Amino acid sequence: MTAQLLDGNALGQKLRAGFKQKAEELAAQGTRPGLAVILVGGDQASQVYVRNKVNACAQAGIHSEKYSYDDDVAPQVVLDKIAALNADPKIHGILVQLPLPKHFDADAVLEAIAPEKDVDGFRAENVGALVQGQACFIPCTPYGVMKFFEEAGVNLKGKEAVVVGRSNIVGKPMAMLLMHAGATVTVCHSQTRDLKGHCQRADILVAAIGKPKMITCDMIKPGAVVIDVGINRQPDGKLCGDVDFDSAKDVASFITPVPGGVGPMTITMLLANTLESAERFAST
């Protein structure tokens, strides 16, 4: 068996095809969609992510503003900028690139973003609302993963899903979305007892743990759908995911690559959420 590739670049471009027209329609009605991105520190990966997001905005006809700060910036400076952006009618979405420097309380920074502008879906209010299916914005990465299932025609009802990774950014929202779609979900972490056994039962396996190639082929149920959210830089500079792709592709039915899988879809759904936010502002 050779797994079918879930190509995030291709699906992202397909979904983005109508974004520019929607942005132009909103602009013609007096609301030009706007996204503000805040970057703190000189982390190279974060700089790449932010650059990709800004470029994607330009291609989609979305106005973007980037605010960069040094590593040693006082947290209050960033909080004051968020407050100003919350009040700025030209901005419909605010994104703070993670991770933040250690002297920041990341939760406090994310919670400072107005709920109606939390297009990354990271606020606890949004994550918690997923339980009732009433989130203002679905977190972008899990949202993009669900689009993969939709595109591939994967029926989640009655399936056994395992999410390896418990973060509020990916793990918990992913579990909620899978449950809403009818799957039975187990959430694990790197120290879960018999992690291998849990993974081997999974029809749907989502790896979001941040450990390079931790999920090996002997942990994967034959024919499972494998989603690799991880992105890790190896000693040779190349990127890899949390799944050992080269061996896993011979066991899974569908699999996402790293890079080119979940990453482009995360950006795509960020654009979608920003457009949705602008539409809400236009209708008020």
Catalytic residue numbers, as ranges? 53, 97, 120
Q: Annotation-wise, does 12 bind a ligand? A: no
Q: Which stretches does DSSP call E strand in the chain?
A: 4-5, 34-40, 63-69, 93-96, 160-164, 184-188, 204-207, 225-228, 232-233, 239-240, 254-255
Spatial contact of 71 and 104, defined as CB atoms under 8 Å apart: no
Q: Annotation-wise, does 46 bind a ligand? A: no
Place of tokens 């390079």: 212
Q: Annotation-wise, does 167 bind a ligand? A: yes
In one-letter notation, the amino acid at residue 147 is K
Q: Annotation-wise, does 253 bind a ligand? A: no
DSSP assignment letter at 100: P
One DSSP character per residue, 7-49 reads: -HHHHHHHHHTTHHHHHHHHHHTT---EEEEEEES--HHHHHH
Provide the annotated binding site. 165-167, 231
Provide the annotated binding site for NADP(+). 165-167, 231
